């Protein structure tokens, strides 16, 4: 029964952390909507175009960089398949969490079924949130790309992304999370993290209990009670 306290103590936190891990993974490899605008092209209707100011030049450069980033990550995550890719990543990570937590080793059949049912339900519970935030994640990551890479670098990255090898590399990078070799190491890593988390949780709980015993006014406030002042 050694696995039971770990499972019940950390289960809610595990799901919250899983969302964060997935989002950061997505953010690191995020895709963007392609929108190559005509803003970078100056009108040729005027024989004597007005001079471009430094501020205008910067705005045009920023817009071009963002368009390059959006094009790159659109290749990484084609709109028609990105939801399936994200769903597969969630399935892979939940499977690794399930095995790291040794759910199938829980001796009681009833408890084991409860835990497995919860893991089975998580993709359906998570995907609506993923769909809601995915556009924001992709837009934010597009902007982050322009902060990290120069316009020249983005152009070179896009050129690579548009090659058959480049597009395949970028589109399958998240798929590798489910590779057996990666999964094996990740499960061992997650199990080790659980031990650290459990130890820290118990230490922090003891520290908080001790603090609240020494500060009953704080405990009362946390419980929604007001401590009478000395003048009352």
Element (H, E) at 178: none
Cβ atoms < 10 Å from Cβ of 193: 14
Is the model's pLDDT at 1 over the cut of 80? no
Q: Nearest CA to 72 among 137, 141, 3?
A: 141
Mean pLDDT computed over every residue of the chain: 76
Asked if 104 and 119 touch (Cβ cutoff 8 Å), the reply is no
- From residue 97, alpha-carbon distances to 35, 170, 181 in Å are 38, 25, 15
Residue-level pLDDT at 59: 55
pTM comes to 0.61
For residue 226, which phi and psi values (nearest 5 degrees)? -100, 130
Is the model's pLDDT at 3 over the cut of 70? no
CA–CA separation, 17 vs 196, rounded Å? Answer: 14
Q: 195 Cβ partners below 8 Å, 6+ apart?
A: none
Higher pLDDT among residues 135 and 57, named by residue: 135
How much of the chain exceeds pLDDT 90, in percent? 54
The 8-class DSSP code of residue 156 comes to: H
State the average pLDDT over residues 200-214.
92
Q: How many Å is the Cα radius of gyration of the chain?
A: 25
Asked if 185 and 41 touch (Cβ cutoff 8 Å), the reply is no
Q: Nearest CA to 26 among 163, 137, 178?
A: 137
Q: 36 Cβ partners below 8 Å, 6+ apart?
A: 67, 71
CA–CA separation, 205 vs 199, rounded Å? Answer: 10
- Domain assignments of the chain as residue spans, ordered by start: 3-35+58-187
């Amino acid at each position: 029964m050694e696995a039971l306290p770990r499972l019940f103590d950390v289960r809610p936190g595990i799901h919250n952390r899983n969302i964060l891990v997935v989002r950061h993974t997505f953010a690191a490899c995020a895709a963007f909507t392609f929108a190559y605008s005509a803003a970078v092209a100056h009108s040729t209707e005027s024989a004597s175009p007005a001079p471009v100011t430094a501020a205008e030049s910067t705005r045009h450069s920023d817009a071009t960089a963002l368009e390059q980033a959006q094009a790159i990550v659109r290749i990484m995550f084609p709109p028609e398949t990105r939801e399936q890719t994200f769903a597969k990543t969630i399935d892979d990570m939940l499977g690794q969490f399930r095995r790291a937590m040794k759910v199938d080793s829980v001796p009681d059949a009833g408890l084991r079924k409860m835990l497995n049912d919860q893991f089975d339900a998580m993709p359906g519970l998570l995907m609506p949130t993923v769909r809601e935030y995915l556009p924001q994640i992709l837009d934010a990551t597009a902007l982050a790309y322009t902060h990290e890479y120069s316009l020249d670098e983005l152009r070179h990255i896009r050129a690579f992304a548009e090659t058959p090898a480049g597009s395949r590399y970028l589109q399958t990078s998240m798929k590798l999370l489910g590779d057996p070799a990666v999964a094996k190491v990740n499960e061992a890593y997650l199990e080790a993290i659980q031990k650290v988390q459990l130890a820290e949780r118990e230490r922090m709980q003891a520290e908080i209990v001790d603090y609240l015993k020494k500060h009953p006014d704080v405990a009362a406030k946390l419980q929604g009670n007001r401590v009478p002042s000395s003048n009352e």
